[in-house]
Structure 1
Amino acid sequence: MKMKLIDLTLLSLFLLVCSLTSQAQKVSNPIIHADVPDLSMIRVGDTYYMSSTTMHMSPGLPIMKSKDLVYWHLVSYAYDVLDDVDALNLNNGKNAYGQGSWASSLRYHNNTYYVSTFSSTTGKTYIYSTQNIEKGPWKKSSFKPSLHDHSLFFDDDGRVYMVYGGGKLRLAELNKDLSGIKAGTTDQVIIENAASPTGATAGLPAEGSQLFKIKGKYYLFNISWPAGGMRTVIIHRADKITGPYEGRVAFQDKGVAQGGLISTPKGEWFAYLFRDFGAVGRIPYFVPVKWENEWPVLGIDRKVPETLDLPASNHAVSGIVASDEFNRGKNDPSLPLAWQWNHNPDDRFWSLKQHNGYLRLLTGRVDTSILSARNTLTQRAFGPESSAITSIDIADMKDGDRAGLLLLQKKYGWVGIKVDAGSKSIVMINASSGVPEEVKSVPVSQKKVYLKADCDFNDRTDKAYFYYSLDGTTWERIGSSLQMSYTLPHFMGYRFGLFNYATKIAGGYVDFDFFRVSDKITALK
């Protein structure tokens, strides 16, 4: 009898340990603690794909892949260059900050992948298609006008539509080849005021359309932001694509909103949404979904759960960022997918071949500000903490040049080298006030320096700290902390950036030896 009791006790302890282990291995919200807004998602078999917004970055319209809805890694971009115009090229005093391409719509139809977007910069709607979403090539088509926050939709009868607009939502039928709005048709209003279920008369009208057809019914997801309230998920449903649509407030918690539905091969349902979370940007959340009376019911007791019944990832850092030693083999891609240029690059003035194992950034013109300089190479900063370190050879900078490690947003900060009157200095620039200020300057005479930036996004602390080293081992903090701030003119979370620009004469260059990113910051505050 004692042996049975011992056996039962051991079994109970074993089950308790398994239960605790299982709970510990559940994934926490947010799924990605980085700027991945305007999610659109599909599942093909047991593989998930997701697109997102990167606006003025190039290449653009990123495609991410996952097998478990938890660990996502970049596999492709739909385009290298959205269009060749001054605003996207940072030419003639123009820029596309906060613009470029916005919310995308990712679809899979008849063995072909489609992803569409729109741009207020060019006034166009763009549709990209491929039969190999991971390797391409992507076929591009575009047309006017720019259909705001549209949802591309292939119906069962072979017709193709876009639902779009803000507040007043419209339906436009497209040509079968997706080359434009079908001739002889006019778009129609399908919902006069999509925000009406909130009862609000002011605030952000309903936008961010994502349309799904599930068991014969049409479900349209939108976001609204009632004045004095929070970002809200609104769902309308109808038996016909043209309506009439019945709407309801579907979710209000923590401002987590805008997205759509995804199902697992096991028949589980989730809503993918995002949350404005300060300087790190707009970060993705998942909430479980149950179906009641043919309506999707979001959340646990209509709240965002802290953990999800999904397996935790073994990856400490998301697959959308990457360290880079700048060594390239014969068959290696030029740049890992984690990198994006700030606006379209000028390929004449950067190289990974001129100095093997280094990224060379050359100055091709004179600029007055780092925000107008071309060929700034960026990656997302991420939370709750992130750090980036680089080494830079400064021997061939010219008078007036500026080069270094940047945290990019309108209220930016950087640590780097400036050359004035033939003398080089390590400087820290802080633009958190809206006006760049040189906070600290340290003379330097050696050829190589090391630079570091730490980001603390814990609980929206949103502070960054900058450092330099002369040997790569002993670090000195320089300047003041940067109070990071998410601003609408840039509409993007902070990014690490490597840069070099001229203020007096073009022709200088710097060589970056490596870029190493980490999810831990130092205590040298």
Structure 2
Amino acid sequence: MSAPVYRNPVLDADWSDPDVIRVGDDFYLTASSFHRVPGLPVLHSRDLVGWSFVGHALPRLVPEGDFVTPQLGGGVWAPALRHHDGLFWIFYPDPDRGIFVVTAPSPAGPWSDPWCIKPGRGLIDPCPLWATDGSAYLVHAWAKSRAGINNVLTGHRMRPDARELLDDGVVIIDGEGICTGLEGPKAYQRDGEFWILAPAGGVATGWQMAFRSKDFFGPYEHRIVLATGTTDVNGPHQGAWVTAPDDSDWFVHFQDRAARGRVVHVQPMRWDDDGWPVIGADGEPVRTHAIPVPGHALTAPATSDAFDGPAFGPQWTWQANPEPSWYEMLHPGLRLFLHEDPGDLRRLPTVLGQRLLAPSVVSVELRLSEDGPARAGITILGRGYAWLGLERTDEGSWLVCRATASPESEGVGGFDASAPAGPEHDLVPPVPCTSETVTLTVHIGSDTVCRLGEVSYTPAPGFWTGTTVGLFATGAGGHADFGPVRVESP
């Protein structure tokens, strides 16, 4: 009998910049969450293929006052997850504030309040390393948009409790003459050698580098160990080396797929005769492979939600730090209290969203209270957005389907998060609605093209994120009640 196989991507949604560790027989993953709250999702797996939610390590973004409104593309960038000295550690960067650390005795928490180990702008992609001799180190990259430099990696000596850096830091790897866009370092130690695995060449177009040295501070040799090659997996990079219980090695990385987000692949990894890692099929991504740890039931992160528990599921996040007054659980059902309308759903903190899953059919029941002008519904939200739902005016209630263009202005990273979206326009004429409750349905194709009713909408990715599927309600007073959200195969 042939061994069971998996097919990449193993997480076909926006799990950006994944980092993975194994503790015992269990694998854990965290990822960038940017401006989404709660942040730092934590997933669990027994086989590196099926994943399920554990929770989040960051209930609120800090400093809290800075995140009362959506800070699109800001917040939590690429984190590093480690297990050391009986604790789980996550080092994460806020590119506008510095490098932060949280710890917990268990992946489910409770997680500590974050502390800043290195303040400053443009500090990104941190990773700690506790060496076998008891010393501790930190490596990080730089965001040119904030710091004016990139393509270099900086290293520090660190107190083992990660409460302080012990030096001013030095450049341990300079990408000049080697590559462009060097970032996302992950640090390891193997057989007395220090390894830094780091992507280069750009999110959608790059490749994976490996660097090795006898000393953490260098000098380092380098090789390209994973690239697109003859495959259709663009930019395969930025991830984690993890060893399974049978001592087989694996590399977990992402692929940028625009509106779908940064999806997660698992690659086999071996070592050549010169002691260098060989990832995938001789340095190219594999589409299918034998499951790393066979014998486990396939799982996937939750998507549907009946809203029948004490809180909504962990798949949901807000666009800013939430307040208790924003919602109420109806058991079953979810009530969103109407929030002042900023005229741009990207600026509405009370959008409750989850990652777009393609292909899928998303449906939800909606009832809008009778307390004045308001609108509520389901939105496909990125740099631009579309929404389907109810609008109540002085003339009555209407079933509407509207969209706005993505902003045309360009900024750092090829887009400008501060630019307003284009004005909303009707995709179809509004239809009078006399029913108290409506069912809203969005069909999301395998190409991520969305059908809202009878019209199609092609979503744009968000600001460093994939597209969000969200629920919202705006107005001067009252509420909107949402029934079960069902995310099903088409």
Using structure 2 for the length normalisation, give the TM-score: 0.88
Structure 2 counterpart of 1:75, from 34, 51, 54: 54
2:443 is matched with: 454
The residue type paired with residue 178 of structure 1 is A
Name the SS for the 1:207 alignment partner.
coil
What is the CA–CA distance in structure 1 between the aligned matches of 2:391 and 2:238, rounded to whole Å? Answer: 43
Query: CA offset at residue 322 of structure 1?
Result: 2.5
Question: Per the alignment, do residues 86 and 140 of structure 1 end up closer, same or farther by CA in structure 2, a change over 3 Å counting?
Answer: closer
The residue that corresponds to 2:144 in the other structure is none
Q: Do the aligned partners of residues 497 and 306 (structure 1) sit closer, same or farther apart at CA in structure 2, a change above 3 Å counting?
A: same
CA distance in 2: counterparts of 1:274 and 1:172, whole angstroms: 27
Matched pairs, number: 456
**Which residue of the partner structure matches residue 244 of structure 2?**
264
Q: Which amino acid aligns with 2:450?
A: A
Which residue in 2 is equivalent to 1:280? 260
Which of 76, 90, 93 is the equivalent residue of 1:115? 90
The question of whether the paired residues in 1 share the 8 Å contact of 2:48 and 2:266 is answered with no
Look up the match of 2:450. Answer: 464
Query: Could you give the per-residue CA deviations for residues 447-496 of structure 1, whole angstroms, max 9, x where no partner exists?
Result: 1111011111x3xx3310113xxxxxxxxx3xx31112225xx1111121
Q: 1:140 aligned to 2:119? A: no
How far apart are 1:125 and its partner, in Å? 1.6
Question: Any idea what SS the aligned residue of 1:223 has?
Answer: strand
- Match of 1:394? 368
Residues 268-312 of structure 1: CA distance to partner in whole angstroms, max 9, x if unpaired? 111111111121011111111110121111111322111111049
1:518 aligns with 2:458: no
Decide which moves more: 386-395 or 365-374. Answer: 365-374
Q: What amino acid maps onto 1:282 in structure 2?
A: R
Residue of 210, 215, 218 corresponding to 2:191: 215
Give the deviation of 1:335 after TM superposition.
2.2
Identity over aligned residues, as a percent? 24
SS at structure 2 position matched to 1:206: coil
Aligned match for 1:483, one of 458, 463, 474:
458
283-292 or 356-365: bigger deviation: 356-365
For residues 485-510 of structure 1, the C-alpha deviation after alignment (integer angstroms, 9 at most, x for no partner) is 225xx1111121110012xxx22211
Shift of 1:86: 5.0
Larger deviation, residues 218-227 vs 149-158: 218-227
1:361–1:226 Cα change, 3 Å: closer
Give unpaired runs (5+ residues) of structure 2.
142-149, 408-421
Corresponding letter in the other structure for 2:137: Y
Please tell me whether residue 128 in structure 1 is matched to residue 112 in structure 2.
Answer: no
2:479 corresponds in structure 1 to 509
Corresponding residue of 2:223:
248
Are 1:173 and 2:132 an aligned pair?
no
Hey, what does 1:306 align to over in structure 2? Answer: 287
Give the letter aligned to residue 192 of structure 1. D
The offset of 1:314, in angstroms, is 5.0
Tell me if 1:60 matches 2:39. Answer: yes
Amino acid at match of 1:499: F
Deviation for aligned residue 1:34 = 0.5
CA RMSD of aligned residues (A): 2.0
Distance in 2 of aligned mates of 1:428 and 1:78: 36
**Cα distance in 1 for residues equivalent to 2:76 and 2:86:** 25
What secondary structure is seen at the aligned counterpart in 2 of 1:304?
coil
State the structure with more CA Rg: 1
What is the distance in 1 between the residues matched to 2:433 and 2:226? 56
Question: Does 2:386 correspond to 1:406?
Answer: no
1:113-157 Cα offsets, whole Å, 9 max, x none, are 100101124x12210001111242434322412531111221223
Residue 27 of structure 1 corresponds to which residue in structure 2?
6
| C-alpha deviation, 1:84, in angstroms | 4.1
Structure 2 CA distance, aligned partners of 1:180 and 1:437? 53
Instruction: Map Cα deviations across residues 172-202 of structure 1 (whole Å, 9 max, x no partner).
Output: 22334322323xx220111122x6434xxxx
Q: Which residue of 2 aligns with 1:36?
A: 15
**Aligned mates of 1:197, 1:415 — CA distance in 2:** 49
**Superposition deviation, residue 422 in structure 1:** 4.3
* 1:189 counterpart = 2:189: no
Aligned residues of 2:337 and 2:480 also touching (Cα < 8 A): yes
Aligned residue number for residue 225 of structure 1: 201
Verify the 8 A CA contact 1:130 1:139 in the aligned structure 2. Answer: no
* Equivalent residue for 1:420, pick from 393, 397, 401: 393
User: Partners of 1:453 and 1:138 in 2: how far apart?
Assistant: 39
Q: Which amino acid aligns with 2:289?
A: L
Is 1:376 the counterpart of 2:351? The answer is yes
The code of the aligned residue for 1:89 comes to V
- SS state at 2:103 partner: strand
Q: How far apart, in 2, do the equivalents of 1:148 and 1:279 lie?
A: 23
> Within 5 Å, which residues of 2 pair with 1:46-57?
46-57=25-36
Measured in 2, the distance between the counterparts of 1:120 and 1:348 equals: 30
8 Å CA contact 1:466, 1:481 repeated in 2: yes
Task: Give the whole-Å Cα distance in 2 for the aligned partners of 1:512 and 1:381.
Answer: 19
Distance 1:462 1:366 in 2: 27
The alignment partner of 2:124 has SS state of: coil
Residue 500 (structure 1) aligned with residue 486 (structure 2):
no
Displacement of 1:58 in angstroms is: 0.5
Letter in 2 for 1:377: L
Q: Does 1:344 align with 2:321?
A: yes
- Structure 2 Cα separation of the partners of residues 364 and 278 of structure 1: 30
